[in-house]
Amino acid sequence: MTILDVRRVGEWDESHIDGAMSIPLHELLNRIAEVPAGEVWVHCAAGYRASIATSVLAAQGVRTVAVDDSYAEQAAASGLSLVTGSGQLVAAGA
């Protein structure tokens, strides 16, 4: 399973899910070949960009799950850690 973050680079730099890959939504069509095979969980900050990215990926035959909640809350609920802009790893639920 791949976690795809479609937020802007500045948002990614502030904080992101540990192990996620970043492809901002506006770059997705040009970079779709970079998305690994298998199930892809797509997230953004609130869900709007994730839903668009999910539609784009699904049209290309990619099996996707849109996470339409706050990514930080969803990460914690799923037991995933976050990486802050300073590179600090924040354990899930911390």
Look at residue 85 in the predicted model and tell me its pLDDT: 72
Look at residue 54 in the predicted model and tell me its pLDDT: 93
Burial class (CB in 10 A: 0-12, 13-18, 19+), 74: middle
The pLDDT tens digits along the chain (94 residues) read 899 999 999 999 998 888 999 999 999 999 999 999 999 999 888 889 999 999 999 999 999 987 766 666 666 677 777 677 767 666 655 5
Dihedral Cα 26, 27, 28, 31, nearest 10 deg:
170
Look at residue 8 in the predicted model and tell me its pLDDT: 97
Q: Domains in the chain, start-ordered, CATH in brackets?
A: 2-90 (3.40.250.10)
Q: What is the pTM of this model?
A: 0.79
Do 40 and 5 meet the contact criterion of CB atoms below 8 Å apart? no
**Rounded distance, CA 82 to CA 64, Å?**
21
